[in-house]
Structure 1
């Protein structure tokens, strides 16, 4: 399933969410302006390489704003656009920014642990997926019954279907867990950082209740 939009109107303008999307997009445009050697150096310098984490701790943050392909950034930014505005609306702008970064940190730490245990600790990790997974966890906790208009494959056809957020996001996290376990023996070769998705989702789902106070409004 791929989300088209959520049927869940936000009460405020998602300033921080939009800024994150713009920053990630600007960094990606810079990346594609580099030649292959420069691109590799850029990714190794600002991407998260677990074995170098003590020497370059800033990569715990910077890796969230890098991406590996057009499909990678478009998919990530679309998910953030669909789900992030409502979470920012409920948390407030400053709290949403802190929440987003903490979700990304949690995602990075779990993926780092897995990399050390199963291999791949020298492979750079890039992408906003972990932090966005935290946003999905928060959305599930805040709006379990919101409707998501999704593009769903039915046999050989693609169909637009409205599904509750609990079903859409629930299936999404099950896929992450299944793929994470399935590909664990091959983690040393890189690929999708499934455990970053799982870690970010778990942190976001647990953390959101400490950032959200019902009936409170924030700037």
Structure 2
């Protein structure tokens, strides 16, 4: 287990991470709609979640489902969560890492980046679990893309987090996120909990790593070197 708590990296290009806040609010609103809306969680998840067998046409839902064209469930599922713990865990990662990634690419690009990572993560899960009739929901794929982007942008920044059974440590990003990635990889290929979209996590991470060089602002090696030195300086 790894839960990030704080990184302390200041924003350079913006005052407010508007895109990150929009995603936090959207996921929070979707959670309230899912569990306190008129349809209830089962109907909402069936109508907006990604069901691989439905996506590939081997299974058909009852009339009226899904609520959007089937391909769009690759994206709509990203905003849904099955529990408050599920929601808070994803939003914590987004809160800690999202603002700095958004700072590196701008509000609009960040939102597009998140959706692309989330959509690709959903597709990877669907391809691997093609016969599954279990709905996939959660922002984990998009968040994994944000985590990968953060690792590439700030590999040596020291992050406060809770590790294993709640041990607080302050480690460089490449150690903290590396530990998290190993957990995702091991769970996907060797774990027995098939109720979690582990391959969606890996797919989102790969998408984030591939997209960040294309979507970030113009890269200035000199500026990056100066910023890295500032971050490593004692405070």
Alignment deviations for residues 100-152 of structure 1 (CA, whole Å, 9 cap, x no partner): 11101110111011102xx5x21100000000000001001111011101123
Could you tell me how far 1:10 is from its partner in structure 2?
Answer: 1.7
Larger Rg: 2
Describe the shift of the 1:165–1:57 C-alpha distance in structure 2 as closer, same or farther (beyond 3 A). same
**Is the contact made by 1:7 and 1:149 (CA closer than 8 Å) also made in structure 2?**
no
Q: Name the residue aligned to 2:210.
A: 206
Superposition map of 1:59-78 within 5 A: 59-78=73-92
SS in 1 for 2:10: coil
**Selected match of 2:36 from 30, 33, 38:** 33
Tell me the equivalent position of 1:7.
Answer: 8
Q: CA deviation at 1:214?
A: 1.6
165, 168, 184: which one aligns with 2:173: 165
One of 23, 33, 37 as aligned partner of 1:20: 23
- For residues 169 and 134 of structure 2, what CA distance do their matches in structure 1 show? 38
Aligned counterpart for 2:150 among listed residues 122, 135, 139: 139
Task: Tell me which of 153, 176, 183 is aligned to 2:184.
Answer: 176
Kept in 2, the 8 Å contact 1:2–1:150? The answer is: yes
Q: 1:130, 1:46 → 2: CA distance?
A: 16
Instruction: For 1:168 and 1:7, locate their aligned partners in 2 and report how far apart those are by CA, in whole Å.
Output: 15
Of the three residues 140, 150, 153, the one matched with 2:161 is: 150
Tell me which residue corresponds to 1:47. 49
Name the TM-score, length of structure 2 as normaliser. Answer: 0.82
Would you say the 8 A contact 1:8–1:147 is kept in 2?
A: no
Deviation at 1:34, TM superposition (A): 4.4
Q: Distance in 1 between matches of 2:158 and 2:8?
A: 5
Shift of residue 90, structure 1, vs aligned partner: 0.3
Unaligned ranges ≥5, structure 2: 57-68, 221-235
Give 5+ residue unaligned stretches, structure 1: none
1:84 to 98, 106, 110: 98
The 3-state SS of whatever aligns with 2:99 is: helix
Q: Size of the alignment, in residue pairs?
A: 204
Q: Aligned equivalents of 2:91 and 2:213: distance in 1?
A: 24
The alignment partner of 1:57 has SS state of: helix
